[in-house]
Copies of this chain bind each other. A is one copy, B any other.
Amino acid sequence: MKNDKRSVTMVDVAREAGVALGTVSKVINGLPVGESYRRKVEAAVQKLDYHVNPNAKFLKSERTNTIALILPNTIIPFFALLTQYVNMALEKRGYKMMLCFTEYDHHREQELISMVVQNRVDGIIALTYDPRLEVPDNVPFVTVDRFLGGSVPCVASDNFTGGRLAAAKLAELGCHRVACLQVGSVLTTEPNKRKDGFVSGCMTAGLTFKLCNPPDGATAEPFEVFLRQELLETDTPLDGLFCSTDLVAYQAIGIIRSFGLRVPEDVQVIGFDGLRMLGDQEPVCSSIVQPISELAETAVSIVISNDFAGLPPLICLPVTYRPGGTTREKD
């Protein structure tokens, strides 16, 4: 792999081709130029293995062809997938991605935004947790799953409909007494609507339902208490469960089985996300699948278009249901 230490510039190409600097620039940028000149330049470019220096280019244009993606981490599968798809969507459009991890730290969220703005990114896609996040007004900014106000476009799955769908499915699968498990969130993030949709769906389907919505904190303790109460210490035990996240579903299933009950025979469980074990193995559970790829595509195409004019403040993408072994499907 060759690549001269002293990088070759347009001047070198111009000299080699025997034309002027400006002509080379035009050829490179696809502007009209005499055919014979074009050929000479192209030959020289080939010969010298010339490539434009992005720094110099962007110094003039004030653009960097870089979009920042800000999210908590990449350990959580949903974030990992989002990262991957955003990267692909950007690459397809000739953009680079600047990846930033917040680790759920509100302060870092704000710092990182300043940082990437200073780095002159052309846009920001963010999945943050600070309800009072200050958003730059001079660089395109779109959020994923966080509605920060009318002026900041938010791309999200149709969480409400997803919740309704889960309720409808549980009813269809023969459940009568169901519950919704959701990790708290004082702030009104979009995913919170899953619960609301579920409630709505239960009412439509005539299902008896309970809610368990402990405040934040990663422990599964409150779920265990709730499930013990509603599965063991009652004579009308639950037979269906909707969890606001596949991760919650995973924990819940563990708890249920530790009680000696079976999933899906005794309790059917539907999660939300559509994750797979270890990334690409079997589904974690029956789940409302988020269209992560489309979320990424949409978010990217919005930041890049930079046309926030006729845009609805909240763009909802459709979700689908996928059986995953924790429900009793008919067939």
Contacts and interface: CB of A to CB of B under 8 A. Distances in A.
Interface of A: 1-5, 7, 51, 53-56, 58-59, 62, 64, 73-77, 80-81, 83-84, 87-88, 96-101, 113-114, 117-120, 134-139, 246-247, 250-251, 275, 277-281, 284
Q: How many monomers of this chain does the complex have?
A: 2
Contacts of A113: 1
A117 B75 contact: no
Give the most central of A87, A99, A281: most B CB within 10 Å. A99
A99 to B, nearest CB: 6
Contacts of A88: 101
Nearest to A76: B279
Contact of A74 (B64, B84, B135, B278): B84
B74 A134 contact: no
Contacts of A87: 74, 99-101
Contacts of A139: 3
Contacts of A75: 77, 80-81, 84, 279-280
Given A55-B55, A87-B99, 19 more contacts: A1-B117, A1-B137, A2-B137, A4-B138, A7-B62, A55-B58, A55-B59, A74-B87, A76-B279, A77-B77, A77-B80, A83-B99, A87-B101, A96-B119, A97-B98, A99-B99, A247-B281, A250-B278, A275-B278
A96 B121 CA distance: 12
B279 A77 contact: yes
A59 B62 contact: no
A119 B53 CA distance: 7
Nearest to A247: B278
A237 to B, nearest CB: 26
Nearest to A3: B138
Contacts of A55: 55, 58-59, 64, 120
Contact of A99 (B62, B76, B97): B97
8 contacts: A1-B136, A54-B119, A55-B59, A75-B84, A76-B278, A77-B77, A96-B119, A278-B284
Nearest to A282: B254
A310 to B, nearest CB: 22
A69 to B, nearest CB: 9
A73 B64 contact: no
Contacts of A83: 74, 83, 99
Contacts of A7: 62, 120
B136 A54 contact: no
Contact of A76 (B2, B5, B54, B280): B280
A250 B64 CA distance: 43
Nearest to A138: B3
A101 B88 CA distance: 8
A3 B275 CA distance: 39
Nearest to A246: B278
Contacts of A96: 98, 119
Contacts of A58: 55
Contacts of A80: 74-75, 77, 80, 279
A223 to B, nearest CB: 13
Contacts of A73: 84
